[in-house]
Each structure stands twice: as structure tokens, then as C-alpha cells.
Chain A
């Protein structure tokens, strides 16, 4: 193939798609609006000499052969001892909960595995039902019925639409353990533990766990970029696309913000569906109902990012000073998480925010040569925050952190808080998945019906963002699926 392929956006999915296509002969130009590639995985400076490696605190390995160091999840609370969740087990809870956790994890990893055929392929179409889609569903049915067995399949069907709150109360007593799992179920979505479908979002997250235990996210982007580089992708940064050029429902190229036009026979958008269709492509070439469905995508980001530049490592109460490379959760119980979620429904920041933090500089010292850096995901934060609200939220986060790190204040050199809108300015979109991972935005309805197979109504225009099946988090699964679909001859 000698025609040019353009990928819009050098985020995890755009880069994964670009590399996948370049390895199969596409001449790929990847255009990134920011000055450096990575999207939400791109590092940024929080103060001079202090850098965080992107918005995600951790990753699951993208394939089973990965050899990173695993990290544990440590649930902190100012008035109780810690709970520690590692790859196999949980400690700091009752014997009963420890045993329940082992059984629970085994069962849910089996459920996640049963869903795997759905995740590695374009979502099946139910109308016309092509052979490939029939195969996907048959594989799913086989995995559910034969792989899980009858009783487990019934249990899967019982829980799959449920909320995580009710499910966890069925299994565990310890509020800290339940809160840690509930946090993973809601992180990145505008959902609380009682939102229906949060068992599914947790399963979605657990899917990555099949490839191995949780790792630090610090190494994700360098590895991906070297892969992209060796595949021969031309990544051009500082090149914001302002328009997708279309002639009579067929893509002809893209136009950059500086007016430069780049011809292309294939354009793959790594930005979200709303921006792609309503802003870059325009509705002139789209059917009215399709455009409406795109307009209706739920994609409000509710995760803020907070970071601290630190002169030296603070001490965390109850945590061994030699094991600061883990992931720490500072979250209330599930009811507290639900209350924290209530605030964002009314465009307010939570009064008791949920804080997930790491010290990425433990894994990559070059991030903070003269000290350490703390990187935190903060829930729930409305899209926009006034300066006063930002200051107030920052104070609440600092108070919460101080409650478990009493010597923190002496070590802080700089603070840095980004509301979802600030994140969107930086990387185009504030939602981790470019669209809620809710049932009505899943599978053949992700991002919308009519564009769910990575193809679009515009011939030659494809989608590969986290807004597509199977959603976001680091790993670039949507991008890799998109590349496979395009190589298999998917057409718009």
C-alpha cells in the first residue's frame, strides 16, 4: 500500500493502532496536537525538575510475556490499620475475608477470562450477523457455558448487570477491602458503587489482570514509543487537526490548525467520537440520527489529577519506608464513595475526595532527580473548577494526605491540580474511556451504533480511541483491535 494513512492523536490507542498498521505496510503519519506524544499517558512537569509520567497510576501488562515489577495496592486510613492487596492475596483483614477474597478473585478472573473473546475482536453485529461475528459470540457462549460450567454461568448472568456495592456486601465484611474494589470499579467513570453496571466495569478492569499483576505505569509510554518507532510510524507533534476533509462521504485527508492540508486515503481518529464527528468531520455528511447518537454519548470526565513535588520521601503511617513503590488508596467506605459521587452530579467537587496515589519517582528516578514526586488521581471532580474551588479542593486533598503522612508539609516544594477540563485542554479529552463504560455504551453500541466496528459512515474514516470497544486504560486494546479491523478490510 502506498497511499498515506493518517492517525489523529498520539495517545495510547492512536499509537497502538499506528504501530499495528505500519507493521503491515501502511505508510502511517500520526498527528499529535501536543508538543509530545502520549496523550493521557504523556508525562508533564509539575515543577522544575519534577515530572509525573502521565495520568494513570498503574498499568496491567499488555501481554502475558511482560516482565515488569509488580506493585501492591495498599488501602490507608487515618484511624485504622492498612489493608494490603497483592497479586494473590489480601492481608490486614479477617481470616474469613482473606478466604473469601481468594475464592472471589478466582471466580471473577474466570469471568473476565470468559469475556475475553469479546474484548479481542470488533464487537459482534446482530443484524445480518456475519460469520466472523457469529464466531465471536459462539466463542463467548462456549467460554461461558463450558468454560465456567452451569452454576458459574448462572452466577455470571446474575451479577453482570449488578452494582458493585451489593455484590461486595454479599462477600466481605471489611469496609476497607470493599472500598478498594469499589474504587477500581468506578475509577474513570461518572459512577458510584451503587450505579448499575459497576460489576461489569470492574470485570473490564480485571481483564488486564489476566496478563499479570499490576505494575507501575512509569514504563508504559517509553515502551510503546520504542515499539512505534521500530514499526516506522512518522509521529508529528504540535500538529493539531482542525478538520477531517471529506468529499461526498469519502475521506480525502485532514487539515491542520495552520491550514496545511494532508491528503490521505485512510484516516483513523484516536480522538473521541464527539470531537471526531461533530467538530472535525461535521454533520453535513452524516445521517441525522447517527449524529444525534454521537451527540448523546455520555463522556463527562470526573477524575482530577493532583501532584506534589517533594524534597524527600515522606513517611506513610503503617507503611515500611522501603516499600514506597506501591499504589496507595485513601478512600472512605463504600457509602462514603457513594456520597463523594453525589457531589459531582451537582457539578461540585467531593468534600471527602477519593485519592489514589503513587510515587512514580521510586520506579524512575529521572522524574525527580532532587527528590520525589507524588501523583494522584482524585475523584470526584467536576469538569470545571473556579480558582477558589480549586484552592479549597487542594486543601482537602492535602488535609487527607497529611492525615496519613504527618511529615508531608515540610517536604512539599510545589503542588499541581488539574480539573477534568484542564486535562482535556492538555490531551483532548478528560474521560479515561472517552465515554462511560456503561451497558448502553458497550459492545455494538460503543461509541455508538453505526460506528462500533471501528468503521464509520464516512468511507475511509475509522475510529481507534478509548471511546471504542473495549474501552480505555493503558494497553491500547481499542487501537490494536482497530488496526486489525482495518487490515482485515473493514471499510467505512
Chain B
């Protein structure tokens, strides 16, 4: 079974899980993600967030664009596509990658799952088929869209392993981060990877749409014992900022959408320079990135902790209070678990150096009336929230 394409009648594609989510929602707060009907908030933002941080939250990942890349040149093709060394991947392993255009600007990021020799699945948040196809010129590869053929769930949070174990997914205790295994569940094979977008312990389940509801029901059947919640996009945004994960297309313009010169960002500028391996051999954008690396950095997307508790939604960043404007906040959240105001900000470097003494000037409303204020920003090199239990193998049982 594949997911029925009825968007010409309904405008929105329905994931196999959507009936369950509709039955569960108290807000009717919907968004679209790659044409799929997707909840922003299912129940309550705070309970969804806290479930992910202290128990377990489950999100429908079916709208994620999934591409199957197979063929004699699949490995070389991917190695030429992305900035990381794909040769280090092996069957059963997963890696986080970014790919760029010729100018070294980010087209998108995603995860590559190596299913077998020369057989990969690439998952991306946005539609990538055109870029993948034009990159295939001269390579013996087949690229198939599996978005609608593979249903997916993210099971995230400190108790996620226990939830899965109790629900009947056995053997996951030996699965280390960024690896995957096939688990037999109710007579079907479910591919489980230890991956996620929340910065916590977590798994992603990849299955045939036929199996989707069995899996969903089994997971939610344990909610009496564990606080299992369905996660919407709004809580996910809080979680990913805490984890320091970027979202191309939101935190900065992606290369294919940017019209104005200087709006797209390279991996270095996006703060994911560690994904770029200039020595691995040729890949699209390498010449441009090598040249960029030889120059002093011009700008970076950086992690900032902003003092106080006022949200700094749309703020400029200055060097020194009332000083020179050096950047803009790109995304922000109040972090309940850290009790801190977090932001990712695009900062212009001065003489190749990150300016110190950063201040945010922000506007806020109090009883309708606008005020503005200044808040000191503290730079963070590491993810804001990165708990040890995220990497523990075997995971901590509850």
C-alpha cells in the first residue's frame, strides 16, 4: 500500500497516522509540511515539550522527504553530493549530512541511511528531487521518491527506549546512536534507527504504511505507564533550538530559494563547518568552500543565551549596548528545562573574529503597548542542551 494521493480533492495529503492524531487533538491547530496535514500543537505546547524532555513524545515523520538511492555509483554519487566522507558509512549506519550548490551554499541538510552496499536512503526536510537528479548526471544511480511509501515515526525522550521495549520492539538496547536495525514487530519488519531532531535519547521508526497503525496503537498503549504524548511542530521547534540544530530555509535562506546576493549561507556560515571535509575528494561546492576557508570568516550562525526572560523573537544584535549592529536573531525560544532565553543568531564577524560583548535589542508588547529593551547575549559553542543519557548504550531503563 502506498499513501493515497488525493490532494487534488483535499488539498492536503493524509499520513496513515492522521486519523489517530485528529482523534487526539484538542486544538485543531494544523500546518502543512510537504503537503501533509501536520499538527502544530496536538494537546498543549508545554505537555508536548515536557513529554519529550522528561518522558517520551511521538511525532509523525511521514512528511519527511525520503529518497532511495541505488545503483553501481550510489556511493560515489553521494560522496560527490554531500560535504562529508560517505566512504566512512557502512550498511546499518546513519550520518548527518549537508549538501551545497557550486558556490558552496547550503541546498539542504538531512540524514543518509546506508541500507546495503550501494543502497541508501536520504531523508530531507524539503523536496530535493530536482537537485538530486541534476547531480546524477554522469553517475549510474536510480533515485526513487519513497516519501509516500514509507511511513515514519519519531519516538523521542529519556524513556523512549523503555516505551519501545514495553510496546514490543525488542533488542534495541544494543543499538548505538547513528545506527539502525530491523526489528520484527507483529509479523512485519520495522527499521529502527537511533536518530532524532530533539537532542535527546530517541529513535525513528521506518515502516510500510500497512503497519503504521499497529505500531502507533502499540506505542500509545503504554501511555498508562509512561507519559507518551503526540508531538507537534511548535514543541519540536523548542526542542531543536535547545539541541542547537539548525533548520535550513528558516534560520537562513537555502541556495535554491535565495534570490538576493549574499542571502544564502555556506555550511561554515551556518555553523556546521564540522560537516565539511575538504580533503575527502571532489564534491559540489568544494572549490568555493576551500576558497572560503582560506579567507577570514565573514559571518556565522551562532548560539546565544540571552539574559532575562523576555522573548527576543525579532531582534537585532549589536556589538556593545547601543553599539554597532552586527547581526539578527534567526530563531529563539524560552527553554523551560534550562530556564533560559535561547537564540540562534546570524552574526557578522569583524576582522575575521566574532565580536564580543553582544547585545540584543528587542521589542516586546505589554498590555498591547510596545516597549523595547536591551539584553546581554552570551555565546555558546556547544549545544544548549545535550544530556548524557542521549548517548548511553544501553539506554537507561525506566
Contacts and interface: CB of A to CB of B under 8 A. Distances in A.
B114 interface: no
B102 A287 contact: yes
Given A248-B282, A249-B282, A450-B102, A287 B138 contact: no
Contacts of A249: 282, 286-287
Contacts of B135: 288
A282 B138 contact: yes
30 contacts: A248-B281, A248-B282, A249-B286, A278-B137, A278-B138, A282-B138, A283-B80, A283-B138, A283-B139, A284-B76, A284-B138, A286-B282, A287-B102, A287-B284, A287-B285, A288-B80, A288-B81, A288-B101, A288-B102, A288-B131, A288-B134, A288-B135, A288-B284, A289-B101, A289-B134, A289-B284, A291-B137, A291-B138, A292-B134, A457-B287
Contacts of A278: 137-138
A285 B287 CA distance: 10
A288 B281 contact: no
B130 to A, nearest CB: 10
A306 B212 CA distance: 68
Contacts of A457: 287
Contact of A287 (B131, B139, B287): B287
Interface in B290-340: none
B355 to A, nearest CB: 27
Given A248-B282, A249-B287, A283 B137 contact: yes
Contacts of B76: 284
A44 interface: no
Interface string A276-299: 001000111111111110010000
Contacts of B287: 249, 287, 457
Given A248-B281, A284-B76, A457-B287, A289 B137 contact: no
Nearest to A287: B102
B87 to A, nearest CB: 14
Given A286-B282, A289-B102, A450-B102, 10 more contacts: A248-B281, A248-B282, A278-B137, A283-B80, A284-B76, A284-B80, A288-B81, A288-B134, A288-B284, A457-B287
Interface of B: 76, 80-81, 101-102, 131, 134-135, 137-139, 281-282, 284-287
A453 to B, nearest CB: 15
A285 B284 CA distance: 8
Nearest to B99: A288
Nearest to B139: A283
A291 B285 CA distance: 12
A292 B139 CA distance: 13
B141 to A, nearest CB: 12
Contacts of A289: 101-102, 134, 284
A285 B137 contact: no
A291 B77 CA distance: 13
Interface in A431-465: 450, 457
Interface of A: 248-249, 278, 282-292, 295, 450, 457
- Top 4 closest A-B pairs, CB basis? A283-B138, A287-B102, A288-B135, A288-B284
B137 A288 contact: yes
A396 B322 CA distance: 84
A248 B137 CA distance: 19
A275 to B, nearest CB: 13
A295 B137 CA distance: 8
Contacts of B139: 283
A289 B136 CA distance: 11
B364 to A, nearest CB: 42
A396 B131 CA distance: 47
A483 B131 CA distance: 36
Contact of B282 (A284, A292, A295, A450): A284
B278 to A, nearest CB: 11
Contacts of B102: 287-290, 450
A289 B134 CA distance: 7
Nearest to B279: A248
B283 to A, nearest CB: 8
A290 B281 CA distance: 17
A457 B137 CA distance: 17
Contacts of B285: 287
Of the listed residues B102, B131, B139, the one surrounded by the most CB atoms of chain A closer than 10 A to its CB is B102
Nearest to B261: A127
B214 to A, nearest CB: 41
A282 to B, nearest CB: 6
A287 B137 CA distance: 11
A7 B116 CA distance: 43
Nearest to B135: A288
A175 to B, nearest CB: 46
A450 B281 CA distance: 20
Contacts of B282: 248-249, 284-286
Contacts of B80: 283-284, 288
A420 to B, nearest CB: 23
Contacts of B131: 288
A291 B101 CA distance: 12
A46 B281 CA distance: 50
Residue picked from B81, B284, B285, most chain A C-beta under 10 Å: B284
